[in-house]
Structure 1
Amino acid sequence: MIRYSTAFATVLLATTSVAAASELAPGNGHSIHFGHVKGVVYYTVEQDGYRVVATLASGADAQPMRFVSTLGPGQHMVISLPQAVGQPSLDFEIMRDGTTVLVSEPAATPMADPMEQAAIQDALDR
């Protein structure tokens, strides 16, 4: 299982162009930092899958945001922090492979669609 997890982490790193990925243990928190946003991610083992919780805030006085997802084997979730128009978003991914959960370090991901950029700018201008 360790060799498989190591291989999975290597594939994760190669396909997401991130600097590192960390393996989580159930109930143990992992600090995440991207841009001006900081937070923690952890998971618990539930009957219907692994319940992943990520809580993020942009400062001590900012209202935190919580993202919750139940992951089955082979599933993943991405949390993305948009940047200025024309700048790549900062993304981090949480992946489950069997009994292993990996958290990638945030990486810049270019926006592929100019329409998406326009829609974001329109929403920000409102």
Structure 2
Amino acid sequence: MRSLSRDILPLAVAGGLIAVAVIAPVRAADKAAGLKPATAQTINIGYVNGVAFYTAQEDGYHVVATLSVAGGAPIRVAATLQPEQAVSFSVPGAADTAPSVVQIARRGDSLTVTNPPPRLVLN
């Protein structure tokens, strides 16, 4: 009789690690390729959060972003992007600091969402 912890568990862990090693590069390639149609992408601009998605239409990529501040009333912004066009949203920073900017850009048939790096806020 095989011992679960000595014989079977190490095989299960090894199988899980192999699956992660195969799936992780595929998922990373999906993210690098850009946003897929009708798939939401999270947006974080300082204290403003939301989601964005797009659909491919005959007249361009219809981008919709829904943003809100700490659960407040959301606002929806829509734009139609042609190849090599972009739209951006920004939140002002403190005095003498740059604003936080999210850019949604269409490069050929690919759409990317660039979130700003998180800021450390000390009060």
TM-score category of the 2 structures, normalised to the smaller one: 0.5 to 0.7
Deviation at 1:107, TM superposition (A): 4.8
Partner of 2:25: none
Deviation at 1:77, TM superposition (A): 0.8
Decide whether the 8 Å contact of 1:82 with 1:90 is kept in 2.
yes
Alignment gaps of 5+ in structure 2? 1-30, 119-123
Partner of 1:94: 104
Decide whether the 8 Å contact of 1:29 with 1:41 is kept in 2.
yes
Pairs aligned (count) = 88
Query: What is the 5 A alignment of 1:1-126?
Result: 23-60=34-71, 62-107=72-117
Query: RMSD of the alignment, in Å?
Result: 2.0
Alignment gaps of 5+ in structure 1? 1-19, 109-126
Decide whether the 8 Å contact of 2:35 with 2:113 is kept in 1.
yes
- Percent same amino acid at aligned positions? 36
Q: Greater share of strand residues, 1 or 2? A: 1
Deviation at 1:23, TM superposition (A): 1.3
Does 1 or 2 have the higher relative contact order (CA < 8 Å, sep 6+)? 1
**Structure 1-normalised TM-score?**
0.63
Task: For residue 34 of structure 2, give the secondary structure of its aligned residue in structure 1.
Answer: strand
Post-superposition CA distance 1:23-67 (Å, at most 9, x none): 10000001111211110010011111001111110112x111211
Q: Point out 4+ residue stretches in structure 1 off by more than 4 angstroms.
A: none
Q: What letter is aligned with 1:80?
A: S
